[in-house]
Amino acid sequence: MGHRILYIPKADVIIPTSYYYGTGGIATGSGTSISVPYPPGIESGDMLLLHVLAKSDMMGINQPTGWGVTWSGYIAGVVTYVNYKKAASGSESGNLNITFTTSERRGVIMYVYKHANTYLNHGNTIINNSIAGTSTGFAGEAGQLQASSLYINRQTNVTVSGTGWVENSNLSTVDNGGFTFVNATYAFSMSETAPTASFTLDDASYGDIHRSLMKHTP
């Protein structure tokens, strides 16, 4: 009697779509430490982005353990900005304490993105005494997510525009002139060229637009 050979078709691998999940809000302070809240609902496989802005070009920040720098810069005499990323372990909760070697006025925020355990690319647009900025991003593929996060050194209204972009959070606080943090994302549904987001400010400000390209790796 012959043997039958059973062929089992290979199942397609479904790659989850990355998406914005939330923020813990803005933390401000002028001492040598700031405690910034972790966003709720963090799980293993999420991507965390941390943005730090100082109202001075004397940041003096101590890099938080387990975080990698994606970009840092400054505008002489006005602001310093540093961006960090971290693939979440799932144990993050409460607050992250960030320490500094100098005492300057600072604003800090953290964002979490679901199904985005791989960080692909980053770029920046400097806001230098301007009322507008554009974030020309990266080409992407289905399931990938591009985030553009604006953060500036004053409290003002910010409008986000650009086809396909979703404004997720627009937060500001009065603190020595204020801080404003705005987050927008673009989800790729297919292979596409770089989408551009535009940010329009009510008042001329100093700061940065940080853009990130992320995806889920099985």
C-beta separation of 130 from 205 below 8 A = yes
Q: Does residue 2 register a pLDDT over 60?
A: no
Q: pLDDT tens digits, residue range 170-184?
A: 999 999 999 999 999
The predicted pLDDT at position 20 comes to 98
The predicted pLDDT at position 66 comes to 96
Q: How far apart are CA 177 and CA 157, in angstroms?
A: 13
Length of the chain: 218
Strands (DSSP E) along 76-215, which ranges?
79-87, 95-99, 106-114, 118-136, 145-152, 158-161, 166-173, 179-187, 196-215
Q: Does residue 11 register a pLDDT over 60?
A: no
C-beta separation of 39 from 111 below 8 A = yes
Query: What confidence category does residue 160 fall into, taking pLDDT thresholds of 50, 70 and 90?
Result: very high
The predicted pLDDT at position 79 comes to 95
